[in-house]
């Protein structure tokens, strides 16, 4: 028989498989270190010193948040505390959240912690998507805080009888089936007032995460005719 | 040719991220190239066995 | 050599390992039924939202649907390993008594978890709920006490596999399984901790979900397909194992960094666009290779056999082989084609988290995993009933036709609904609350949901035939004993 080809040799493929799998895993671990640093939560002093973090500190709830086009990035980014005109956050303009705009680092962190716990124990993700992951039965919550429907001119805030966005959202979360806007309703999940506040803090914080422009054009188009 | 960096943090991978190919060509290459050594070793083994 | 196995295709019948395998398969089949029933509940809720509202809400039924899915597949995978171990290693599984004990621990834990999901449903926002009710993280919702139980069970399983592999004959298939199952079990740990940072949360969550279904489970399927081809058509072990190693290289080579296609929008850096897009774009290649491999080996073995002029089939288990064949094709279609559709970031920006994802999720899980695991169950029925050549029955064909037709039908319906949602809710209306409902209200979307429900019923009818066949085919005189 002629010389056996390496290409049909089991040992060659076994060793190649081992090398490729092992090395791809090493690269993934390297990338994970790089990414982990970038997505670690910022601190209150980052906000005060104008340091842009992909995931800002919990005290971001003290600031005004918007979602605007950045020419440099080529997509929308969360803008915290005002826009410098070039698509970067100024970290200046504050916004009252449940009556105050000076929640301490500890208070804000506690609220966020409660909210994240509630989001899991109440199972938001098996109806909604968060950051686009989860279930498709209800609207994506990534930027829910910025949804025009919750603004003072939107349809939902007046419906709950509240005069601020955060109070309206908290009221809705506690008694969702009291405020139906569609046949498909959100059920009562036994959310307490404290949990509801935590959840709203969690939603506001999530809207400040830099998601590389997802969702695109959020809240920019209203009243357009859909393609029925 | 060289695209300006757009990402938040200018890390090693962010700089290599130059459109659809650069970063992945780099990664694919360093994964696949060393198979040449495996090939050579196995060829030598098969030859010596033959 | 392969022929030796064929001469004696019933190695280890009566072995305890194989008995344990049938237990695993039985519980898997029951959970499969539960999965489908809860799938029907949530599909009805899409069409008629008042159904079981504030009794079994969408979130509760969906959690049961997808958890039952994951758990039945894990059960059937453990069962498959216990089934093939005596054949491959030539010895009885080491530590089988512990294996049996762990089986019961696993079953009891799952039953408790299901009852808690159904009757307690949600808890207050504290650690106790995470420990004892559920963790609220899609697919791996099991409460933490159950997580710990699952880790113990998985460790016991991996230990049995290793001890048997080391003591007995260590074939290529066994070597691949040993390495793979360690990774499979280890990855579960990445999904067990709590963090306030939702980006970090999702980062590690995908390690479990993606690195399971697009790396370790796929390699597992490669190993099962290799085993099945040797068993069912007498393919040459040397050739089959060479293919297996090539598949491992391609699957891990593309799938591990392909993880990046989930890191486009969760707060992670932009460089994942490139890595995720280009590595995952290669993921369909090994799936094509696996399909070609099955066709090639089949053709080759049948060609050799045809030389004797009797016109007999080389296949010694028709229903199992059909399901294995469906797997080769369904894996390519559901994971490969439907996956590639939405894997580039420019596309995924709009399809991310829509019914399109659901279309892909259904066809891939069914095509890549449900099929081959059902095929393994048929191999077990053949072995258990000492059947030499197992034939299709009316029920086995109806089961296959209706489940495959139903799932493909659901996929088509979801794909159409998904397109409408992508264009109306996302591209046109910018993904807000009102944009979301504009999409949902579209006639095309709504009819897609109707058809999904109808096709879900068809799938369920197929399941009924499947169970009927499982229970009766052993006694059916069509088979050659
Ligand atoms: C009776 C048949 C079935 C029906 C009616 C059904 C229905 C559903 C529904 C309504 C959802 C929720 C989707 C959403 O969040 O909007 C879902 C999710 C899911 N189902 Fe099914 N299903 C069925 C069978 C199956 C089968 C056979 C499989 C796989 C083997 C499967 C796998 C999944 C997966 C993986 C998800 C999560 C999808 C995602 O998050 O993208 N289902 N199913
Ligand atoms: C058998 C293998 C596979 C299975 C079982 C599978 C299953 C799934 C499931 C269930 C999801 C939804 C996860 C969720 O609930 O959020 C998903 C998402 C996704 N899959 Fe796969 N998949 C497989 C292979 C592939 C392949 C080969 C590709 C690419 C070529 C791919 C591309 C994607 C992408 C891009 C997403 C994200 C969808 C989104 O952004 O919403 N998948 N897959
Ligand atoms: Fe994936």
> Do residue A64 and residue A151 come from a single domain?
yes
Residue having the nearest C-alpha atom to atom 15 of ligand 1: A135
> Do residue A11 and residue A69 come from a single domain?
no
Give dist(CA C199, CA C192) in Å, integer: 15
**What is the per-residue pLDDT for C310?**
79
Residue A117, both tokens: 């716990």
Report the pLDDT averaged over residues B36-44: 94
> Do residue A185 and residue A215 come from a single domain?
yes
Q: How many folded domains does chain A comprise?
A: 2
> Do residue A32 and residue A55 come from a single domain?
no
Is A120 a member of any domain?
A: yes
Closest CA to A222 of C278, C130, C156, C429: C429
Is A196 a member of any domain?
A: yes
Domain holding A55, by residue range, is 44-227
> Do residue A20 and residue A98 come from a single domain?
no
CB nearest to C199's CB, from A28, A39, A187: A39
Give dist(CA A147, CA B5) in Å, integer: 31
**What is the per-residue pLDDT for A223?**
59
> Do residue A104 and residue A179 come from a single domain?
yes
Q: Would the pTM of this model clear 0.80, i.e. be above it?
A: yes
CB contact under 8 A, A20 and B32: yes
Report the pLDDT averaged over residues A91-112: 97
- Scanning C198-257 for CB atoms below 8 A from B yields 253, 257
**What is the per-residue pLDDT for C5?**
38
Is A74 a member of any domain?
A: yes
DSSP-derived secondary structure letter, C315: -
Report the pLDDT averaged over residues A184-194: 97
**What is the per-residue pLDDT for C24?**
98
Number of inter-chain CB pairs under 8 A, A vs C? 267
Report the pLDDT averaged over residues B10-26: 83
Res. A222 pLDDT band, cuts 50 70 90: low
Is A1 a member of any domain?
A: no
Closest CA to C338 of C258, C283, C279, C273: C283
**Dihedral of alpha carbons C469, C324, C375, C141, sign:** negative
> Do residue A69 and residue A144 come from a single domain?
yes
> Do residue A130 and residue A49 come from a single domain?
yes
C259 in contact with ligand 1, CB cutoff 6 A: no
> Do residue A27 and residue A109 come from a single domain?
no
**What is the per-residue pLDDT for C19?**
93
Top pLDDT among C41 and B1 is at C41
Report the pLDDT averaged over residues B10-21: 83
Is A167 a member of any domain?
A: yes
Residue having the nearest C-alpha atom to atom 21 of ligand 1: C39
Is the CB of A76 inside 8 Å of chain C's CB atoms? Answer: no
**Dihedral of alpha carbons C156, C157, C161, C162, sign:** negative
Q: Encode pLDDT of A71-95 as tens digits.
A: 999 999 999 999 999 889 999 999 9
Subunits in contact with chain C (3 or more CB pairs closer than 8 Å): A, B
Report the pLDDT averaged over residues A10-39: 96
Give the pairing type, strands A65-70 and A129-130.
Answer: unpaired
Top pLDDT among B10 and C39 is at C39
**What is the per-residue pLDDT for C471?**
97
Enclosing H/E stretch for C139: none
User: Which residues are paired to C389 by β-bridges?
Assistant: C480
Res. B1 pLDDT band, cuts 50 70 90: low
**What is the per-residue pLDDT for C12?**
47
Contact A168, A150 (CB under 8 A): yes
Res. A211 pLDDT band, cuts 50 70 90: very high
CATH number 1.20.210.10 given to C1-170: yes
Residue list, ligand 2 pocket, CB within 6 Å: A 132-133; C 138, 213-214, 261-262, 280, 283-284, 331, 335-336, 339-340, 342-343, 348, 352-353, 357, 360-361, 364-365, 368
> Do residue A28 and residue A74 come from a single domain?
no
Give, for all 481 residues of chain C, the pLDDT tens digit. 233 333 334 444 568 999 999 999 999 999 999 999 999 999 999 999 999 999 999 999 999 999 999 999 999 999 999 999 999 999 999 999 999 999 999 999 999 999 999 999 999 999 999 999 999 999 999 999 999 999 999 999 999 999 999 999 999 999 999 999 999 999 999 999 999 999 999 999 999 999 999 999 999 999 999 999 999 999 999 999 999 999 999 999 999 999 999 999 999 999 999 999 999 999 999 999 888 988 888 998 999 888 887 778 899 999 999 999 999 999 999 999 999 999 999 999 999 999 999 999 999 999 999 999 999 999 999 999 999 999 999 999 999 999 999 999 999 999 999 999 999 999 989 899 999 999 999 999 999 999 999 999 999 999 999 999 999 999 999 998 8
> Do residue A58 and residue A30 come from a single domain?
no
Is A77 a member of any domain?
A: yes
Contact C251, C296 (CB under 8 A): no
**What is the per-residue pLDDT for C197?**
98
Choose the residue to mutate in C213, C258, C288 for probing ligand 2, maximizing ligand atoms within 8 Å of C-beta: C213
Choose the residue to mutate in A124, A126, A133 for probing ligand 2, maximizing ligand atoms within 8 Å of C-beta: A133
Task: Write the ipTM.
Answer: 0.96
> Do residue A174 and residue A128 come from a single domain?
yes
**What is the per-residue pLDDT for A185?**
95
């Amino acid at each position: 028989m002629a010389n056996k080809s390496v290409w049909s040799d089991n040992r060659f493929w076994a060793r190649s498989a081992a090398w490729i799998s092992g090395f791809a895993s090493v690269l993934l671990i390297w990338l994970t270190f790089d990414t982990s640093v970038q997505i670690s939560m910022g601190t209150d002093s980052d906000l005060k010193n104008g340091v842009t973090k992909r995931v800002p500190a919990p005290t971001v709830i003290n600031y005004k948040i918007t979602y605007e086009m950045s020419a440099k990035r080529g997509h929308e980014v969360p803008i915290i505390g005002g826009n410098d005109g070039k698509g970067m956050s100024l970290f200046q303009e504050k916004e009252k959240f449940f009556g105050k705009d000076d929640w301490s680092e500890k208070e804000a962190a506690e609220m966020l912690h409660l909210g994240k716990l509630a989001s899991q124990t109440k199972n938001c993700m098996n109806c909604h998507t968060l950051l686009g992951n989860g279930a498709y039965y209800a609207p994506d919550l990534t930027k829910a805080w910025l949804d025009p429907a919750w603004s003072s001119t939107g349809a939902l805030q007046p419906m709950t009888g509240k005069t601020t966005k955060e109070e309206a959202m908290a009221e809705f979360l506690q008694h969702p089936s009291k405020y139906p806007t569609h046949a498909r309703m959100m059920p009562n999940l036994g959310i307490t007032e404290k949990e509801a506040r935590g959840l709203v803090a969690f939603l506001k914080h999530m809207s400040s995460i830099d998601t590389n422009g997802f969702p695109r054009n959020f809240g920019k188009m209203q009243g357009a005719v859909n393609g029925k | 040719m060289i695209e300006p960096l757009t990402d938040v943090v200018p890390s090693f991978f962010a700089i290599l991220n130059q459109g659809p190919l650069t970063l992945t060509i780099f990664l694919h290459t360093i994964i696949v190239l060393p198979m040449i050594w495996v090939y050579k070793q196995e060829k030598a083994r098969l030859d010596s066995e033959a | 050599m392969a022929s030796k196995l064929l001469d004696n295709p019933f190695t280890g019948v009566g072995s305890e390992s194989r008995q344990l395998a049938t237990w695993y398969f039985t519980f898997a089949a029951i959970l499969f039924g539960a999965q489908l029933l809860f799938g029907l509940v949530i599909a009805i809720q899409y069409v008629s939202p008042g159904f079981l509202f504030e009794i079994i809400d969408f979130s509760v039924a969906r959690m049961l649907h997808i958890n039952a899915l994951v758990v039945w597949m894990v059960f059937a995978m453990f069962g498959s390993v216990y089934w093939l171990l005596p054949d491959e290693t030539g010895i009885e599984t080491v530590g089988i008594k512990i294996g049996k004990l762990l089986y019961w621990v696993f079953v009891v834990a799952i039953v408790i978890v299901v009852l808690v999901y159904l009757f307690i449903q949600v808890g207050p926002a504290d650690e106790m709920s995470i420990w004892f009710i559920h963790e609220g993280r899609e697919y791996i919702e099991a409460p933490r006490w159950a997580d710990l139980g699952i880790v113990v069970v998985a460790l016991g399983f991996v230990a049995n596999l290793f001890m048997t592999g080391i003591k007995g004959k260590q074939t290529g298939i066994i070597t691949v399984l040993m390495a793979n199952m360690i990774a499979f079990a280890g990855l579960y740990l990445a999904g067990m901790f709590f963090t306030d940072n939702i980006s970090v949360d999702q980062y590690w969550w995908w390690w479990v979900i993606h690195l399971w279904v697009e790396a370790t489970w796929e390699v597992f399927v490669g190993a099962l397909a290799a085993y099945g081809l040797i068993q069912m058509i007498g393919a040459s072990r040397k050739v089959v194992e060479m293919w297996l190693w090539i598949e491992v290289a391609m699957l891990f080579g593309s799938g591990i960094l392909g993880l990046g296609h989930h890191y486009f929008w969760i707060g992670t850096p932009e460089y994942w666009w490139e890595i995720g897009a280009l590595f995952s774009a290669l993921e369909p290649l090994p799936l094509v290779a696996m399909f070609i491999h099955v066709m090639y080996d089949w053709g080759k073995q049948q060609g050799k056999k045809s030389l004797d002029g009797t016109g007999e089939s080389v296949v010694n288990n028709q229903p199992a082989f059909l399901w294995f064949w469906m797997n080769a094709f369904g894996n390519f279609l559901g994971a490969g084609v439907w996956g590639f559709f939405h894997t580039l970031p420019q596309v995924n920006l709009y399809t991310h988290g829509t019914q399109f994802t659901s279309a892909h999720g259904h066809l891939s899980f069914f095509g890549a995993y449900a099929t081959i695991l059902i095929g393994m169950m048929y191999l077990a029925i053949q072995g258990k009933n000492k059947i030499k050549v197992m034939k299709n029955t009316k029920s086995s064909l109806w089961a296959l036709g209706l489940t495959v037709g139903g799932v493909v039908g659901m996929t088509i319906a979801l794909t159409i609904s998904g397109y409408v949602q992508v264009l109306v809710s996302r591209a046109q209306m910018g993904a807000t609350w009102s944009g979301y409902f504009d999409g949902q209200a579209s006639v095309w979307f709504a009819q897609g949901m109707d058809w999904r429900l109808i096709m879900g019923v068809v799938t369920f009818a197929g399941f009924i035939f499947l169970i009927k066949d499982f229970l009766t085919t052993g006694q059916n005189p069509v088979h050659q004993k």
